[in-house]
Amino acid sequence: MRKENVVDGVHNAPHRSLFHALGLTDEEQHRPLIGIVSSYNEIVPGHLNLDKIVDAVKIGVAMAGGTPIVFPAIAVCDGIAMGHTGMKYSLVTRDLIADSTEAMALAHGFDGLVMVPNCDKNVPGLLMAAARVNIPTVFVSGGPMLAGRVEGKKTSLSSMFEAVGAYAAGRITDEKLKEYECKTCPTCGSCSGMYTANSMNCLTEALGMGLKGNGTIPAVYSARIELAKHTGMAVMELVKKGIRPRDIMTEDALMNALTVDMALGCSTNSMLHLPAIAHECGVELNLDIANEMSAKTPNLCHLAPAGRTYMEDLDEAGGVYAVMNELNKKGLIHTDCMTVTGKTIGENIAGCENLDPEVIRPIEDPYSETGGIAVLKGNLAPEGSVVKRSAVLPEMLVHEGPARVFDCEEDAQAAINAGKIAAGDVVVIRYEGPKGGPGMREMLNPTSAIMGMGLGNSVALITDGRFSGATRGACVGHVTPEAAAGGMIGVVQEGDLIRIDIPANTIELKVDGAVLAERMKNFVPKKKELSGYLKRYAALVSGGATGAILN
């Protein structure tokens, strides 16, 4: 296709002249042209090393007889964007990334692509683009950060946010807070727990779109550079064989990813991104499927924030392939799915043993018989809501308490900081959904403050916004319909009883039906004055239950 469009024939002489302007020889022009989508920038810690990864990919492509050409993709650091207007611009970049990559790839007629993402939204954004463009594509991430150490214990970004809550409650000193600040994030890479970035990089492996180790080899390990070179070689094999993303990201492959999601205890954000990726592949993946998968998939890993193990530990234990091999012992993996190795999932995971049963529980001895994520429904969320079940304390799996209602994150945070939230409360944060935020902000600041203040075993939080993968506790997000779309969460009043029953997958507003009907009859959702990209986004975005896709 590319040779016909931009290289071969007299009519393409103008195109060839522009390739010469790039310094490309005739020989380079007639080799497969591989676009390398680089998310490198100097503001996201997970992306600081991507220039090295890109250089290694270029070497791999050239070694295998291709011509590598780099073009950029944007990325937002969710940690730096957290807790202010910047977080409105995180999720929305997923679609900007997909759109711009589609435009660049198709405008310039590439034969294949290597995607080099790392952090939260540019991994799913590039997976969406790969499905749209549908030319041979392989992913290689920048890899996870090494865990920090404070007082001899490993730490991660969630520890840092919770330290702020502990400081506000007078539980730690100025000096201890500063120690956390300086030691929590010791290297470049995606933050070291099973947060959204690492969740999506691991699920890229499970989908078959990345080579072994894509999700787990630490950013600072030399093995990551070797992986990038092998990725460059791998895309050339895919070009030769004509294997494309939609040949790989089939319905069965997406079910594999969801199964691994449950076993790993991934971020709740995966419940936004997997449906959006599936949509681009022509597959429907709704929240009801998530509970079906959870019911039969054991939770094998408790990585931070759910437990005390980190991405480097998962890598040493055998990584994603070892988890999949454990799951396959009970026939939970579709082993005949094609992958970017040119082999099936079954062939890839064969012999990948679990090297540390303390990090990856054996299938016979899981943390729980059900998966790490649960979808709750009820009158408060008739279309669904999401909770990271594996990161909820046992005593909070069922909780009933009075609503403390806030129309934005900032108001809730101020109340928490002022000590106005008491044991037993259910904090409700609304007008933070895809439309209402807009942009569905993450609520890591308030959830971390609740945990840091010692209220994690007695206070729940629900929102039509979403959570960082670093969030832990009885935190229910993605409540759909959202308040801005006329959802029931918009009529919750101070003191209303809310019951959350995670084992039963329910969330209920315990108010008389006639009273609720009257409230809904008179309900007029609040509107915000918007401009620019957020105005367009709010007008087009769907609800959280369908992946916040743009219609």
Task: State the catalytic residues.
Answer: 468
CA distances (Å), origin 362, targets 133, 263, 356: 39, 11, 9
Class of residue 316 by CB neighbours under 10 A (exposed 0-12, middle 13-18, buried 19+): middle
Instruction: Say how far apart CA 409 and CA 405 lie, in whole Å.
Output: 11
> What angle, rounded to 10 degrees, do the helices at 319-328 and 196-207 form?
60
Q: Say how many residues make up the chain.
A: 551
Q: Which two tokens stand for residue 148?
A: 């920090």
Pairing of strands 475-480, 460-463: parallel
Instruction: Say how far apart CA 498 and CA 200 lie, in whole Å.
Output: 32
Residue 5 Rama label (left phi>0; alpha psi -120 to 50; beta): alpha
Peptide linkage before 45 cis (omega within 30 of 0):
no
DSSP H or E segment with residue 404: strand 398-406
Instruction: Say how far apart CA 91 and CA 468 lie, in whole Å.
Output: 11
Residue 303 Rama label (left phi>0; alpha psi -120 to 50; beta): beta
DSSP string, 78-127: HHHHTTSGGGGGTTTHHHHHHHHHHHHHHHTT-SEEEEE--STTHHHHHH
Pairing of strands 33-38, 112-116: parallel
